[in-house]
Amino acid sequence: MTEIHGTCPDRLGAVKDAFAANFTEAPEGLNEQAARFSVCRDGEIVVDLRAGWADAANAVPFAADTLVPVFSTGKAVMATLIATCVERGLLDYDRPVSTYWREFGQAGKHDVTVGQLMSHQAGLPGFADPVEPAIWFDRRAVLDRLCAQAPMWPPGSASGYHPITIGYLAGELFRRVDGRSMGTALRQDFPGLDLWIGLPEREHGRVAQMRKPSSAPDLGTIDAVKRAAFLDKGSAPGGRGSAEWRMAEIPSANLHARADDLARFLAVIATGRIGGREVLSSGTLEALRRERITGPDRVVPFDMSWGAGLMRNRTLGVFGPNPEAVGHSGWGGSCGWADPATGVSGAYVMTRQSPHLIGDPRAVRLIDALYAAL
């Protein structure tokens, strides 16, 4: 039996049962190596469960301070940081990105709005021409190429998930209006949270080892857009080693987090507040969460309803029963979500990755058990 640590009130015992089942009878045989599931209600932790081993040799317990790379789940943090700029009047979702960043407006992108960029409508899911994977460690080179590149479809006509590029684009937009990088702002504006966009080398010893998926995700019919986003040699960072990847600031792809602090952060999206402090007003929350576009996505094989950087539950049904819940999934199965109807926010992190792009069955089992017990 895997020993489970943490807290879960008796009235939510079904959540603990589901968590235990993920170690012994997980859907599709995806039995956990290590995992953590944390839930806040109105900003207060009500469930925080963890179990397993932080290393592949089963020698290092998965501890309360173990960090996990959550990959694209970090896009929910990225979207919230952009929303803080909207809150402060530094950005407007309805104004063109080129208003704040002139160079972005090249090659037919002059009228792409901030809201369209954040909802994956800009047509820049990857590089149109071949690049080496090491380019991602040169922020300026990435941005220069993306600014000069023409959209791969008419902006605003469809969404097409931007796996890596959106982090560089949103990160630069944030930097232009705020003056700081997103990683710096996350540390300074949300002190005390163990969340990192760009992980200092001194913290690397706390990071759990990941077990890669046994198969590739199903992307549907492959075309040039999907190849640029996911399959081309240079579609993701590589060639520099894990230490340099962890230290880079890639808001779309390399957030390192504890599940409990990620759940606390996502309370901002559910309630507008964190630790009793208002971060986002009701107007900014509505603008962040509301539907920007819906329909078949050009990159991921789902009908997507996108907010300003958030996956909306209306077409997915993976973040509980409320269609107005929002969140984001990450490579291998992690996820985070926020539900304004109930004030619930939560996060699931794990070390054994699956090929599911959205809606890993282990996370869905936990979320469904939570809502059934609430």
List, by residue number, the catalytic residues: 72
Q: Which residues contact 11 (CB under 8 A, 6 or more apart)?
A: 373
Q: Give the 3-state secondary structure of residue 300.
A: coil
- Spatial CA neighbour of 147 closest among 90, 111, 109: 109
Where helices occur in the chain by DSSP H, the ranges are 13-24, 75-87, 114-118, 139-148, 165-178, 182-189, 224-226, 242-247, 259-271, 282-289, 361-373
How far apart CA 356 and CA 331 sit, in angstroms, is 8
Burial pattern 145-177, b for ≥16 Cβ within 10 A else e, equals bbbebebbeebbebbbbbbbbbbbbbbbbbbbb
- Spatial CA neighbour of 259 closest among 19, 83, 86, 14: 19
Q: What is the DSSP letter of 212?
A: -
Q: Which residues contact 74 (CB under 8 A, 6 or more apart)?
A: 197, 251, 252, 253, 254, 255, 257, 328, 330
Q: Give the 3-state secondary structure of residue 362.
A: helix
